[in-house]
Amino acid sequence: MNEEDFEGTLVLEKLAEAGKIDAFYEAIDSDNFDQAKLLMRRAGIDTETIQMVMKLMANTDGRS
Which pLDDT tens digit goes with each residue over 6-17? 555 788 889 999
Q: Which helix H or strand E contains 16, and what residues bound it? A: helix 10-18
pLDDT average, residue stretch 13-26: 93
pLDDT (tens digit per residue) in 34-58: 999 999 999 999 898 898 888 888 8
Q: Please, what is the Cα angle at 10 between 7 and 12, to 5 degrees? A: 50
Buried residues in 8-45 as b, exposed as e (16+ CB within 10 A): eeebbebbeebebbebbbebbeeebeeebbbbbeebeb
* Residue 48 to residue 64: CA distance in whole angstroms: 25
pLDDT at 33 over 70: yes
pLDDT average, residue stretch 9-27: 91
Residue 64's pLDDT is: 44
